[in-house]
C-alpha cells in the first residue's frame, strides 16, 4: 500500500481530538464516529483507491483503534500478554505486514506524541522524537564543551542502539500491534557480492532498491538528488524533512535546534532542500578519501565478513566486535595502534558504515569531513540519518542481530564473559583502553543522559544503563539466527 507523502502533512495533535471545552468525545456511537471523521477531514472514498494521503491513512487507523476500545489505548501491546517478538527480514514480511509497517511509520510521522499517547498509549512517540534523540546523543557536552558522541564509535554504539531500537519498536507496535515486531534489513544481501556468495536479493523482485521498498540508491538528479517521488525514494518518496519544534523540544534545544534553515539536519548543514538527499553512489566510490569503498556497492560487507565478526576465536571482546563491524570506531583516541592496524588489515568491508555511505554518499569533488556537512547526503550525516525512514531502524536492527550472534557464541565458549563481573569486557571508567570515557559510555552510566531511556527496562525510570542492556534478556528474537541462539530461549527455531 503506497503512501502519498508528496505534500506536507500537518501533524495531528491531541487538541484535534477534544471538544471545545477540553474534554474527549464518547466514540461509542456510530453518529459520533461519523462526526469525528467529518471533523478530522477524512475522505472515506479515498481509502478505496489504493493510494491515499498519510494523514487520512493515520486518521482512519486512529479512529478505528479508538472506536473499538473502551479505553483509548486498550488495543496496545502493553494491555496484552507480552509474547516473544519475532523480528523478520524485510522481504519475509507478508503484504499485510508490510502494509502495517508502512502505516505505522506514516502514523508516527504524522501524529505528535501527545495525541499519539492518548490514542495508542504511553509507549507511543512521534518519529521526529527519534531523529532528535539520535542527534542529541552525538552532541553530548563534556566539561561544558560540545561535543562528544555517546551513541557511536565504541561498544556503547551497540547498547545505545539496542535501546533505541527497543524504544522505537515499542512506539511502532503501539500503533500496529498486529505487526508483531520491527523488521530487520540484511542490506548486504542486496549487493552483487562475490562469485562464491552473491547477494541473494540482488537482481531479483525482492531487491531493496525499487519503488516497492527504498527506491533508487541515488536521488533525483533533476532536483539535486532529493527523493521527490516513489521511483527515487520508495514508499516514502516525497516525504518532507521536518522542522525543529523549539517549543516541544525546549529541554534539548541548547544541544540541537536543527540546521541553519531550521530543518532536522545537522547544525552545520547548508542544505535547505525539502526532501531527503541521496547523492550518487559513484561519487563516493571515486572520492580518494574513500578508497576502501571502491568496490561498493558491488561487494561491500559480505556474509563472509559477518561470519568473521561473529567468530569468538577471532573477536574476543566488545571492542573487537565493534571494530570488526565498523572500522570508523578507530577514530576513538587511546586505542593501541596494533589494535586498529589489525582490524584495518583483516576486515575487507564495513557493515555499519555501508548504510550511511551507500545511501547518503558525498557530492563529487568535496573535501569529505573537512567540508561543511551540507555536502553530504542525509544518510551520510550520521546524527540525523534516521531521516531515511524506511531503512534506518531495520538496518540497525540487523546489526543488533549480528551482535546477538556474537554474544551467544562468546558465552558458549566462555560462560564467565556474561557474568556481572566481566559484563562482556565492556569498558569502564579507569580502564587503560581507551583512557577516557565520557559520561554515558561507561558500563554503569545512564545512556544518553540528555534524553535517557526511561521506559524500556522495568525498574529504571531514570534511564537504562549500558549494564542493563548487556544483562537483560531480550523479549525479541530474529527470524534467521544461528541455532545456539534460538536454543537459549528454549524455542524451536523458525
Q: Dihedrals φ, ψ of 43, to 5°?
A: -90, 100
| Bigger pLDDT: 349 vs 157 | 157
Query: Rounded to an integer, what is the distance from CA 7 to the centroid of its chain?
Result: 24
Q: Are 332 and 153 in contact (CB under 8 A)?
A: yes
| Bigger pLDDT: 291 vs 253 | 253
The residue assigned the cell 499485510 is 96
Helices 389-413 and 156-175, packing angle to 10 deg: 130
What would the mean pLDDT of 215-233 be, rounded to a whole number? 90
Cross-strand bridge partners of residue 240:
275
Share of the chain above pLDDT 90, in %: 36
d(CA 175, CA 163): 19
Closest CA to 324 of 149, 313, 299, 472: 313
pLDDT of amino acid 159: 95
What would the mean pLDDT of 303-315 be, rounded to a whole number? 78
What would the mean pLDDT of 466-494 be, rounded to a whole number? 67
Residue ranges per structural domain of the chain: 85-489
What single DSSP character describes residue 20?
Answer: T
Q: Are 418 and 424 in contact (CB under 8 A)?
A: yes
What single DSSP character describes residue 88?
Answer: P
**Tens-digit pLDDT profile for residues 418-430:** 999 999 888 887 6
Least confident among 97-101, 107-111, 471-475: 471-475
Confidence of residue 52 (pLDDT cuts 50, 70, 90): very low
Helices 113-120 and 54-67, packing angle to 10 deg: 40
pLDDT of amino acid 2: 43
| Bigger pLDDT: 198 vs 383 | 383
pLDDT of amino acid 21: 63
What would the mean pLDDT of 208-229 be, rounded to a whole number? 90
pLDDT of amino acid 267: 85
Helices 156-175 and 127-137, packing angle to 10 deg: 170
C-alpha grid cell, residue 150: 555517546
Average model confidence (pLDDT) across the chain: 75
Helices 95-110 and 156-175, packing angle to 10 deg: 100
Confidence of residue 324 (pLDDT cuts 50, 70, 90): confident
Statement: residue 302 has pLDDT above 70: no
Statement: residue 203 has pLDDT above 80: yes
**Tens-digit pLDDT profile for residues 389-411:** 999 999 999 999 989 989 988 99
Statement: residue 417 has pLDDT above 70: yes
What would the mean pLDDT of 212-231 be, rounded to a whole number? 90
C-alpha grid cell, residue 256: 540541537
What would the mean pLDDT of 221-247 be, rounded to a whole number? 91
Statement: residue 78 has pLDDT above 50: no
pTM: 0.82
What would the mean pLDDT of 29-46 be, rounded to a whole number? 44
The residue assigned the cell 496484552 is 80
pLDDT of amino acid 68: 39
The domain 85-489 having CATH identifier 1.10.1280.10: the answer here is: yes
What would the mean pLDDT of 296-304 be, rounded to a whole number? 55
pLDDT of amino acid 326: 76
Confidence of residue 44 (pLDDT cuts 50, 70, 90): very low
pLDDT of amino acid 309: 81
Amino acid at each position: 500500500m503506497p503512501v502519498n507523502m508528496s505534500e506536507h502533512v500537518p501533524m495531528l495533535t491531541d487538541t484535534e481530538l477534544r471538544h471545545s471545552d477540553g474534554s474527549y468525545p464518547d466514540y461509542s456511537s456510530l453518529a459520533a464516529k461519523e462526526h469525528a471523521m467529518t471533523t478530522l477531514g477524512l475522505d472515506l472514498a479515498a481509502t478505496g483507491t489504493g493510494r491515499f494521503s498519510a494523514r487520512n491513512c493515520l486518521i482512519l487507523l486512529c479512529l478505528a483503534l479508538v472506536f473499538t476500545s473502551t479505553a483509548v489505548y486498550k488495543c496496545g501491546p502493553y494491555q496484552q500478554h507480552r509474547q516473544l517478538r519475532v523480528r523478520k527480514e524485510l522481504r519475509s514480511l507478508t503484504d499485510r505486514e508490510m502494509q502495517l509497517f508502512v502505516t505505522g511509520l506514516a502514523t508516527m510521522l504524522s501524529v505528535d506524541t501527545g495525541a499519539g499517547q492518548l490514542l495508542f498509549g504511553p509507549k507511543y512517540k512521534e518519529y521526529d522524537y527519534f531523529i532528535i534523540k539520535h542527534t542529541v546523543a552525538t552532541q553530548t557536552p563534556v566539561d561544558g564543551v560540545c561535543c562528544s558522541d555517546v551513541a557511536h564509535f565504541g561498544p556503547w554504539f551497540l547498547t545505545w542502539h539496542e535501546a533505541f531500537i527497543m524504544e522505537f519498536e515499542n512506539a511502532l507496535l503501539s500503533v500496529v500491534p498486529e505487526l508483531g515486531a520491527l523488521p530487520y534489513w540484511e542490506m548486504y544481501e542486496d549487493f552483487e557480492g562475490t562469485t562464491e556468495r552473491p547477494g541473494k536479493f540482488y537482481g531479483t523482485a525482492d531487491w531493496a532498491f525499487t519503488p516497492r521498498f527504498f527506491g533508487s540508491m541515488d536521488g533525483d538528479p533533476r532536483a539535486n538528488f532529493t527523493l521527490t517521488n516513489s521511483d527515487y525514494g520508495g514508499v516514502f518518496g516525497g516525504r518532507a524533512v521536518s522542522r525543529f519544534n523549539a517549543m516541544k523540544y525546549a529541554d534539548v534545544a541548547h544541544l540541537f535546534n536543527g540546521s541553519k534553515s531550521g530543518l532536522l539536519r545537522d547544525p552545520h548543514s547548508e542544505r535547505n532542500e525539502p526532501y531527503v538527499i541521496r547523492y550518487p553512489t559513484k561519487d563516493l566510490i571515486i572520492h580518494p578519501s574513500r578508497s576502501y569503498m571502491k568496490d561498493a556497492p558491488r561487494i561491500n560487507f559480505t556474509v563472509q565478513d559477518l561470519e568473521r565478526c561473529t567468530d569468538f576465536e577471532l573477536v574476543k571482546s566488545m571492542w573487537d566486535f565493534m571494530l570488526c563491524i565498523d572500522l570508523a570506531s578507530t577514530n576513538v583516541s587511546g586505542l593501541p595502534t596494533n589494535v586498529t592496524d589489525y582490524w584495518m588489515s583483516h576486515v575487507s568491508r564495513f557493515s555499519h558504515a555501508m548504510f550511511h555511505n551507500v545511501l547518503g554518499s558525498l557530492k563529487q569533488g568535496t573535501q569529505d569531513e573537512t567540508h561543511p556537512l551540507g555536502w553530504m547526503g542525509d544518510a551520510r550525516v550520521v546524527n540525523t540519518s534516521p531521516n531515511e525512514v524506511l531503512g534506518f531502524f531495520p538496518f540497525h536492527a540487523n546489526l543488533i542481530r549480528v551482535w546477538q550472534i556474537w554474544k551467544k557464541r562468546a558465552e558458549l565458549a566462555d560462560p564467565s564473559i556474561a557474568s556481572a563481573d566481566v559484563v562482556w569486557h565492556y569498558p569502564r571508567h579507569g580502564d587503560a583502553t581507551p583512557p577516557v570515557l565520557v559520561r554515558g559510555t561507561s558500563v554503569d552510566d545512564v545512556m544518553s543522559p540528555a534524553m535517557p531511556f526511561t521506559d524500556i527496562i522495568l525498574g529504571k525510570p531514570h534511564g537504562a544503563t549500558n549494564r542493563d542492556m548487556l544483562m537483560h534478556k531480550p523479549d525479541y528474537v530474529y527470524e534467521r539466527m544461528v541455532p545456539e541462539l534460538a536454543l537459549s530461549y528454549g524455542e524451536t527455531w523458525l
